[in-house]
Amino acid sequence: MTGGADRTTTTAGSRGGVTVRVACVAALVLAGVGALGAPVAARLGSGGRGEAPAARAQAAGAQEAPRPSATPTPAYRSVRTYRPVAAPVRLRIPAIGVDTTLVRLGLAPDGSIAAPTRWELAGWYAKGPRPGQPAPAVIAGHVDSRSGPAVFYRLRELRPGARVYVARADGSTIRFRVTETRRVAKSAFPADLVYTPTLRPVLRLVTCGGTFDAATGHYRDNVVVSAEPG
């Protein structure tokens, strides 16, 4: 990434109402879950074959169906619990020489993820899951700057098995193992891959990649590294 503003917008068609804004340093999804519409009643004509079955039954003298019990249904309560996870403060990836403090990332005014203000630091999306929680946690960083390589310049070099270490505010460290490195066009950003909820902790590292389009000033692709505890 050069500078801090490199954004494009795509829509994930596989999930209604989900808009994905892909920044050069990150890919943040803002999910708006629409309310389910009420079932549409069938349009029935009057008389004969067009009458509703219930109407015909009543006309034939059928008894009313018993009314439902007034006893309230017990509320569902999950027995699953999760251990609290401290906020991440540092990221180390020895295979590519990354050792960076993690800054907190929020949202930019346009609704996309806010890029780190310093190109040599990576950041984690603080409104999302924390690394170690049973869900995808997203860490983003610049690929380059106007003065040279940035923190995730070599992210594309990561191969399955490489170790990723995330230190947390309580002094603990969680270790991840890279499972996949993928380069994808920004116009076809895999929102399902990055943001679909999981039952296990998952880490997604995101930056820009591919060729640089001098006409637009943006990279054409994103590099997405997936890692799991191990």
> What is the pLDDT, as a whole number, of residue 114?
80
Q: What is the DSSP letter of 107?
A: B
The structural domains of the chain, with segments of one domain joined by +, span 7-32+85-229
CB contact set of 166 (below 8 Å; sequence gap of 6+) = 88, 90, 91, 92, 102, 131, 132, 139, 173, 174, 176, 203
How many helices and strands (H and E) does the chain possess?
2, 13
For 115-171, write each residue's pLDDT tens digit: 899 999 999 999 889 999 998 999 999 999 889 999 999 999 999 999 999 999 999
For 1-43, write each residue's pLDDT tens digit: 444 444 333 333 333 333 333 335 443 333 322 222 222 222 2
What band does 113 get if pLDDT is binned at 50, 70 and 90? Answer: confident
Residue 177 has pLDDT above 70, yes or no: yes
> What is the pLDDT, as a whole number, of residue 103?
97
> What is the pLDDT, as a whole number, of residue 230?
92
What tokens appear for 129 in the block? 């899951």
Q: How many residues does the chain have?
A: 230
Q: What is the CATH number of domain 7-32+85-229?
A: 2.40.260.10
Residue 186 has pLDDT above 90, yes or no: no
What band does 52 get if pLDDT is binned at 50, 70 and 90? Answer: very low
What band does 88 get if pLDDT is binned at 50, 70 and 90? Answer: very high
Q: Give SS3 for 192.
A: helix
Beta-carbon neighbour count of residue 167 at 10 Å?
18
> What is the pLDDT, as a whole number, of residue 217?
83
